[in-house]
Structures are given as C-alpha cells and as structure tokens.
Amino acid sequence: MPDGAQPVLDVRDLKTVFRTRSGEVHAVNSVSFDLRPGELLGVVGESGSGKSVTMMSLIGLVPMPPAEMRGGEVLFGGQDLLRAGPAAMRAIRGKRIGFVFQDPMTSLNPVFTVGYQLCEPLRRHMGLSKAAARKRAAELLDLVGIPDAARRLSDYPHQFSGGMRQRVMIAMALACDPEVLIADEPTTALDVTIQAQILELVKDLRQKLGMAIIWITHDLGVIAGIADRVLVMYGGQIVEHAPVRELFANPQHPYTRALLKTVPSVRGDRAPRLRVIEGQPPILTAAPDACPFRFRCGHRFDRCDAENPPRFPTGPAHDAACFWDPATDAPRNA
Amino acid sequence: MLNYTIRRLLISIPTLLFISLAIFLLLELAPGDPMAQVPLTVPPEVKQAMREALGLGEPVHIRFWKWIVQFFWTEPLHLFDSWFGTAWAEGQQRVISWQTRSPVMEIVAQRMPQTLWVVGLSYIIGTLIALPIGIISAYRQYSIFDQIGTFVSMVGFSVPTFFTGVLLIVIFSVKLGWFPSIYDTTLVVNDWSSFVLQLKQMVMPVFVLALYNAAQISRFMRASMLDNLNQDYVRTARAKGLTERVVVLLHVLRNSMIPVVTVIALGVPTVFGGAIITEQVFKVNGLGQLLITAIQANDLPMVQSLTFIFAVLIVLFNLIADVLYGLLDPRIRYD
C-alpha cells in the first residue's frame, strides 16, 4: 500500500443524527477518514460508539427517518455518495461496495436457497444469465472454501453452520468484485476457532482479489492480527487514528490506552479481577461540544468540558483527539 | 410431505369420530323436544308414537350407530349412485331432516351455492383487499395511510356484522333504494339485467363480510410484515443493491406470508359455516340460515350433520394450513 496513493473512499466530516422522542442522538459526529486501495482499515470501539452507523451511513443503509445526514461528504470514485440518488446508490451497493454483517444466522433470507441469494447480485449488477450466474455462484462458494459448492447451491441457509453461512455472506459480498468490502463485526457471532478460519479466509481473499477492506470490530486481538491502519471510535467520533503497530506500541488517547489495558494477559500472575474502564459510555443526546470521554478520563481538566478536542497530529500518520499529551503528561499547547 | 399428509389424514379419522360422538351427546343432553311445535291438541300418546317413528325410542348408542352408518355409508353410496347411475343405495335409509322429511344432504346441496357465492366471494374479496393494505401499512408504518387503515380495521373488526348489515340496509335500501334488502334465491341469472340484479343483491352482504374479513387479515399481514421488515436479511438484500420493490415484495413478503397463509386457510371453514348472522340479516338462505332454523326446530339430524360437516372442514383446513406452512417455509419439513 503506497503512501499517498489516491484513496478509494474519502469520508469528510460525516454527521449522522437520529431524531427520537427524547431528542436528537448524535450517533456519528464529524467523522473523517480515508481508505486506500488494497489496505485493511480496522475500526474499533465499544458498543454504541458509532462504528456500524458510520459505515451504514456512508452507503445509505441507515433507516431514514429516523436517521438524518447532517452534512459531510463521502467521495467514492469521484462521486459524493451522500448526494447520489437512490438508484445510483443501488448500483454501487453490492457491486462496488460489498457488505458482510455481524450475525450470519439472521443475515440470510431463510426462505430462499443460498444459490438464489448468491445469484441475485450477479444477475442484477453483472447482467448474467441464470445459468451463468449459477456457475459463477458455485465458483464463489468454492472460493470461500465451501466443499461440494455446486450441490450446496440448492440448500437453504438453515442447512449451513454459522461459520459456513458467514462464508456464504462473504461470497455474496465479493460476488461482483467490489473495490471496497465493509465487514461489520463479521466474526463476533462466531466461536473462536471459526473466527480464526474466517480471518484467514479474508486475509487470503484480500491477497487474491486486492480489494480494500474496512473491518469493524470490538476485538483488539483481531485488529492486531489483520489491520494495516486503525481508527478508534468513541461516542460517535474518531478519537485516535494510527498504523496498527504504532497504535499498540504508542497509544495516545486516554481511551485507547485504557482499552489496551483491559486486554487480559495469560502471561505472569493472573489478575484478581479483569480490568475495566470505569463509568458508562456517553449518552449521545447532548450536543457534541465537549470531549465525549471526559467523564471516564483520568486526565480531565477544564478545557475538556468547554471544547470538543480536534484530532491533533502526534506522529507520522498518527493523530489523537485529546488535549492531553502523554509524552509530557501535560495539556497540549495547541 | 406426502407421508406426513397421509399420516395426518389417518389420524383425523379417530378425531372426527370422537367429534361426531361429542356432537351427538351434546345434542342428546340439550333440552328440547322435536315435538315441541306440534299443536297442544295432539294427545301425548300420539306425540309419543311420532317420536318413536322418528327413531327416538331407541337407546342412545343404537341411534348414534345408525347415524354413523347412514352418514358414512349410505350417503356416500347415494352420491356415487347419482354420479354413475348405479343403484347400490336403493332402499337404504338416508339421513332425513325431521323438519322437511327430505334427505339432509339434498337440502345442504341446495343451500351450498348461496353460501359459497355470498360468503365465499366476500372472503376472497376481503383477502385480496387485506393483503395490499397490510403490506403498505407496514411499509409506511404510522403514515396517514396506515392510520386510516388501522382505524378502518378497528371499526370493521369491532363493529358486529349484524350492526353494519342493518346500517347498510337502512342507508342503501330504505333511504336511497339502491340495493334490495333481501337476497332473492329464486333469481335465475340468464341475461344481463338479471345478472345486474344478482350483483345488486350481493353487494351489501358481500361488503359487510368482506369488511370484517379484510379487517382481520390486514392486521395479521401488517404485523407479519413489521416483524420481517427489521430483520437482518432485509438489510442484506438492500446491501446487495436490490430495488425496494424486490426487497419488500420478494424477500419480505415471502417470509411474511407464512403465518398469514395459515390464518387465511384456517378461516376457510367459517366460509362454509356461513356467516350465520349476516345470512340472517340479509335473508340469504345459505348454510348458516339452515343451521339456525334447524336448531330452532330441534331438527337433530340436520344439526348433527351440519355441525359435523363443519368439523370435517375445520380438521381438513387445519391439515391444509400445516401442509402449506411446510411448503412455504423450508425450515419446516415434516418427513
């Protein structure tokens, strides 16, 4: 992945708000990032941090209403996806941007055969005939490691195990050779050995097909294993962004540091209790004009309550949205 | 599936025998005397003789056995005879209505067309209206369309048919004079004007029943669609770039129809049961009306036979609903 290459996806200042009875929820707040060709961008954060909503927003899969896009732009192949019409978006979804969702048990339609569901994007986007689509569908199933692929096309989703269904989902997402694959916690619902298999499969497919991948997860171990760069999200914002090694070696944001400490180690003495980050994740109904992490942060000072910190560059390709500088253990001058 | 169906059909035989016994005993235990309407001037000994002539003098189990033989052996033989011109049932006693002294099944055959036309048609129309309303209401939940649909459903469901029926008669027959208030069974449709007349007399009873059926089914359809619209597989279908039309009318509808088809199938026996009250209101002399008059006249063979026919239909359509469920939902395979 050469640095400075033209990004395939460039998200700038994305804002998504959910209108609810109890007020507006600022689910995604000024999120900016880019995705370079062929790279694997990891997105971590706890539940409710806005990881999924960010990715759903940029492809128009959040239900509107109640969701509402409040500005920003998503540049993909010279086009702003936030301003593209529904028909243009449909032409992109499933063809140029593929999706894999969290729960393979419920993500496939139970009343259609796997073959039918695999053929749908092929027939719609590639204009393949029924026979050609079926042939390609069998190749895809074979590609994701499902044995006896041609015969299994006529099986229904309930006849597959969880891991196999996630393979089917991946095959479906890759059906039209997308430039971008968005995987929303694809291994969370699977047990650990199956999770490892799926990770290997994705690594392997990425080598073969060369698409860029956004991998959403809350599992830092998974991120360490496969990502090139990492975005850490908290309270609907990106709080830290760094290449993967840099992030684990030199975390800058107090949230990231706390998150890394919660990972239990099997080396040394067993800790009497698992480490946690004290406090609750923020309720996002308040206007985002202060640091979302301030209530759980050990370095909070008056500026944290007054301003929402911008992302300060802290090193090459590394930035963190925090007024406190861990290098000097003092507030930043900026 | 075939094995399952055959097994279920075999199991339904003892079920139905038990039901027929239950019906028979219920009628036996119910108060009422078939001679009640005979004038008081007729001496009791004559009445007793009349009762015995009807077969009422014999013990319960003998009468039940005779009914069984007549209903399951003689009547089918008669049907066979009338179709193929044979004479196997010659001289065998059929199930006779005490009221009219003619065979029960012949009266049923006379009454069936009216019921099927009026009640059956209203069920079909009600279903055809209900499905799109349910789909749109769910897809545009809480929209104006959904609000109106919900209101009309609530009205249709909660206002009894004898009220809407009479209301319609008052408005459209009495005040406006558009439609006849009484259904004329003797009308023979042989030209355009008689066809229009037939349509006119069917409009109100069909509307009343269709409203009631549509109210019920559209609520089921809406609820089932809502259950499915938020499922993960719908998001997957959208993520594949499919059009809303395909997503909703293929992916969601196919799943939502599973419980609704069951409800529709289970409702079919009530069609044959005739909407008893509505038939009374509009004087449609169908099966429902037949049952009511038979009950009033203590015409036990008629009541017994009609109730049993309804029981057969209910058992049969339960089976059909289960088979349809298996056909529509690949996760359910009975074999």
Mean pLDDT by 10 residues, chain B (335 residues): 86 91 87 76 84 79 86 84 80 80 86 86 92 91 90 88 88 89 81 88 89 91 92 89 88 91 88 77 86 86 89 90 86 72
CATH of the domain at A55: 3.40.50.300
| Cβ contacts of A108 on chain B, cutoff 8 Å | 233, 236
**Residue A105 located in a structural domain:** no
A262 conformational bin, left if phi > 0, alpha if psi -120 to 50, beta if neither = alpha
Cis peptide before A281 (omega within 30 of 0): no
Residue A1 confidence (pLDDT): 41
**Residue A288 located in a structural domain:** yes
Cα B312 to Cα B6, B11, B306: the distances in Å are 16, 13, 10
Which residue in A64, A106, A111 has the most chain B C-beta atoms within 10 A of its own C-beta, making it the best mutation to test that interface?
A111
Pairing, β A23-35 against β A9-20: antiparallel
The answer, for A165 touching chain B at a CB cutoff of 8 Å, is no
Q: Which of B236, B241, B258 sits opposite A90 (nearest CB)?
A: B241
Asked whether the beta carbons of residue A95 and residue B328 sit closer than 8 angstroms, the reply is no
| Cβ contacts of B236 on chain A, cutoff 8 Å | 99, 101, 107-109, 169, 172
Please provide the CATH number assigned to the domain covering B111-328. 1.10.3720.10
Q: Which of A103, A109, A121 sits opposite B251 (nearest CB)?
A: A109
Asked whether the beta carbons of residue B235 and residue A112 sit closer than 8 angstroms, the reply is no
pLDDT band at A29 (very low <50, low <70, confident <90, very high): confident
| Cβ contacts of A120 on chain B, cutoff 8 Å | 237, 240, 242
Asked whether the beta carbons of residue B240 and residue A120 sit closer than 8 angstroms, the reply is yes
Asked whether the beta carbons of residue A101 and residue B232 sit closer than 8 angstroms, the reply is yes
| Cβ contacts of A169 on chain B, cutoff 8 Å | 236
- Report the amino acid identity of residue B239: A
Chain B closest CA to A84's CA: distance in Å? 14
CB pairs under 8 A between A and B: 74
Residue B68 confidence (pLDDT): 86
For residue range A170-221, what is the model confidence (pLDDT) as tens digits?
888 888 888 899 988 888 777 888 788 888 888 888 888 888 899 998 888 8
State the DSSP H helix or E strand holding residue A168, giving kind and residue range, or none if neither: helix A162-173
The answer, for A116 touching chain B at a CB cutoff of 8 Å, is no
Angle between helices A130-143 and A114-126 (to 10 degrees): 120
Q: Which of B231, B232, B243 sits opposite A90 (nearest CB)?
A: B243
**Residue A158 located in a structural domain:** no
For residue range B119-134, what is the model confidence (pLDDT) as tens digits?
889 999 999 999 999 9
Closest CA in chain A for residue B242: A90
Task: Report the distance separating Cα B218 and Cα B213, nearest Å.
Answer: 8
Asked whether the beta carbons of residue A92 and residue B241 sit closer than 8 angstroms, the reply is yes
Chain A closest CA to B143's CA: distance in Å? 12
Task: Report the distance separating Cα B170 and Cα B148, nearest Å.
Answer: 25
Residue A2 has pLDDT above 70, yes or no: no
Asked whether the beta carbons of residue A111 and residue B240 sit closer than 8 angstroms, the reply is no
Domain span including residue A62: 9-96+176-264+274-331
Instruction: Delimit the domains of chain B by residue range.
Output: 111-328
pLDDT band at A4 (very low <50, low <70, confident <90, very high): low
Asked whether the beta carbons of residue A94 and residue B236 sit closer than 8 angstroms, the reply is no
For residue range A258-283, what is the model confidence (pLDDT) as tens digits?
888 877 777 777 767 777 777 777 77
3-state SS assignment for residue A231: strand
| Cβ contacts of B243 on chain A, cutoff 8 Å | 90
Residue B127 confidence (pLDDT): 93
Chain B closest CA to A176's CA: distance in Å? 10
What ipTM does this complex have?
Answer: 0.84
**Residue A137 located in a structural domain:** no
Domain count, chain A: 1
A311-327: average pLDDT: 84
3-state SS assignment for residue A305: helix
Residue B142 confidence (pLDDT): 87
Task: Report the distance separating Cα A10 and Cα A58, nearest Å.
Answer: 10
Cα A59 to Cα A12, A14, A31, A99, A214: the distances in Å are 14, 12, 14, 10, 13
Cα A169 to Cα A118, A310, B99, B280: the distances in Å are 9, 37, 69, 58
| Cβ contacts of A107 on chain B, cutoff 8 Å | 232-233, 235-236
**Residue A151 located in a structural domain:** no
Residue B335 confidence (pLDDT): 60
Looking at chain A, the whole-number percentage of residues with pLDDT higher than 70 is 98
Cβ partners under 8 Å of residue B208, min gap 6: B122, B161, B164, B165, B168, B278, B281, B282
Q: What is the pTM of this model?
A: 0.82
